[in-house]
Amino acid sequence: MVFSEDGVQYRAFHTEKIGNAKPEPSASFVFLIASHHGVQDLVGIAGNATCLIDEKSRRKKLAKKLKLDDLWPQAWDVDVVRKRFSNDQAAFRKCWDPDVKWIPNWICPKDMFLWLETPITLNAMDIVGVKRFITMYGSYKGIEAEQALAILECIPVRDRSSTWHRLYSTIRRCDPLAQSKDLEEIRKRKKIPETTREALTQARIGQGGFRSGLEERWGAKCAVTGSGVREILRASHIKSWKLSSDEERLDVSNGLLLSAHIDALFDKGLISFDGCGDMLISNRVPESERGLLGIPAPLQGELTNTEREYLSFHRRAYGFET
């Protein structure tokens, strides 16, 4: 269910208890899996989620805000529920009334909640090295960022929505070894010339010809703020490294020179730019924060056609346009 708080939209959802887990506040990624008939299907993912399991008063307020108690007739109409309570509505209500406040025990930003129209069957052995993911209710299995990305990559390209891109890029940013893994992948490739290997290596760390080209393109200043403090400038790819071809990874048109905070906003899909260079801001950035961040602010230069094409991909990937 969707609700708003401080101008930001959230989704409330439910899991059973999670044992002794201590989720990070506002930073958990919850992968929702259905086990049945010997298979395990991914049905949903919640990113940047906050666990309310130990926050009884907050759950109670949220249940009231969502008017969950009004849903009891719908629950009572389910045949298996009537059977469970021997068609005794009073017995059902005796169970429902205290439990309804247990339902909204997680929340996450609305645009970080991915529900799959078609569940994706997962192979746990390929992802975590065991025959199956945990099947018990009331518990959980922690996974590494690399494994979380592997689950996301099981979703077919045709089904990768703006929410998918948002989740993927956020997890990539949380993986301290992401850059090292990309560099190792480049190193192991045998069918590329050494000059290309070196160029890709430098581009991945935001240096070399890719950065030099961006500095020339934007006058060695942030394309948004105009800051020329080199130490805080990032050579940022518009189309992400993971989704780009080698040619795109080295293409200066697939980059922007950005101050660190603008780069972080852009990389996480919190901002983008239209074809005229005007900044677009996600609803996830509260109005009260925008002035502090110095946004909105346009790109300080006219875009080339190729840059517009890359930015169009970025807008589609992060839900700024369909």
In a shared domain, residues 27 and 157: yes
- The one-letter code for the residue type at 239 is K
- Does residue 92 sit within a domain? no
Residue 30's pLDDT is what?
A: 93
Residue 189 lies in a domain: no
pLDDT at 25: 64
Confidence class of residue 72 from pLDDT cuts 50, 70 and 90?
A: very high
Q: Are residues 19 and 152 both part of a single domain?
A: yes
Q: Strand (E) positions, 163-278? A: 233-237, 255-259, 271-273
Check residue 78 and report its DSSP letter. S
Is the residue at 198 inside a domain? no
Same structural domain, 216 and 313: yes
Q: For residue range 167-221, what is the model confidence (pLDDT) as tens digits?
A: 988 887 777 677 888 899 999 998 999 999 999 999 998 889 999 999 999 999 9
Whether residues 146 and 214 share a domain: the answer is: no
152 plus 281 within the same structural domain: no
Q: What is the pLDDT of residues 2-28, one digit of tens each?
A: 999 877 789 999 988 887 777 766 678
Residues 131 and 31 in one domain: yes
- Give the model confidence (pLDDT) of 173-183 as tens digits: 777 677 888 89
| Closest C-alpha to 316, from 269, 283, 258, 277 | 269
Q: What is the dihedral of CA 288, 290, 296, 299, to 10 degrees?
A: 180
Query: Buried b vs exposed e over 258-294: b needs ≥16 C-beta within 10 Å?
Result: bbebbbbbbbbbbbbbbeebebbbbebbeeeeeeebe
Say how far apart CA 291 and CA 10 lie, in whole Å.
Answer: 23
* Domain carrying residue 301: 206-317
Enter the tokens of residue 261: 């905070």
- Asked whether residue 82 is domain-assigned, the answer is no
Our measurement of the distance from residue 218's CA atom to the centroid of its chain's CA atoms, rounded to an integer in Å, reads: 29
Number of domains in the chain: 2
Which of residues 125, 152, 174 is at a domain's end? Answer: 174
Residue 186 lies in a domain: no
Domain annotation covers residue 94: no
- Does any domain span residue 194? no
